[in-house]
Amino acid sequence: MLNAKNAFDVYQKIKALGEIALNSEYTMVIDGKDEYTYLVKQFPVPQVTPEDVIEVPLIGGFKTATQQTPRFDFRGSIAFKENMDGAVRALIESLQADVEIGVRPTFNATLYLGTPDNFKQKWRIIDAVLFGFDPLDTDTENRSQITVLQGQIFYMYFPDVE
């Protein structure tokens, strides 16, 4: 059990680590979309790591391991908070309007922890594809929920590459 002095020491050490990041503070700007800032509710933030290790057999039945090549492709759920002008719906529909034989549009974007003008971290993603968006399920009796459009995203991310 901590006494007051020990508790204060722990508190000071934790505060010295910096402000805690909140999941609700992410925004995204998509290249060529009039630099509009999209409010991101959910996004698979990239973390470049190997997915697994490769087992390496040694003499005498011993084993060791080495890491796989790290992955630079990411896929996961994405959810946008919609505004009254329908900016997210317009984005999704505009990307599909450009699809034709031999042309499958992708986009590049920057994800911010914060806003483009005031952020702590940012990630540059390229060749992103949005897909699998569910139709919006409205409820005329629900006065306490924001409008969210949910789907999937696939993209490439290479650290320190603009």
How many whole angstroms separate alpha carbon 151 and alpha carbon 42? 10
Question: What pLDDT was estimated at residue 102?
Answer: 80
User: What's the pLDDT score for residue 30?
Assistant: 92
Q: How far is C-alpha 59 from the chain's CA centre?
A: 44
Instruction: Give me the pLDDT at residue 18, please.
Output: 84
Phi and psi angles of residue 112, each rounded to the nearest 5 degrees, phi first: -120, 140
The two structure tokens encoding residue 107: 């986009």
Each domain of the chain, given as residue ranges in start order, spans 22-157
Ranges in the chain, pLDDT < 50: none
How many angstroms separate the CA atoms of 156 and 102, rounded? 20
Q: What is the pLDDT of residue 126?
A: 96
Task: Quote the pLDDT of residue 17.
Answer: 87
Would you identify the CATH topology of the domain 22-157? Answer: Pnp Oxidase; Chain A (2.30.110)
* Cβ atoms of 126 and 142 closer than 8 Å: no
Give the pLDDT of residue 137: 83
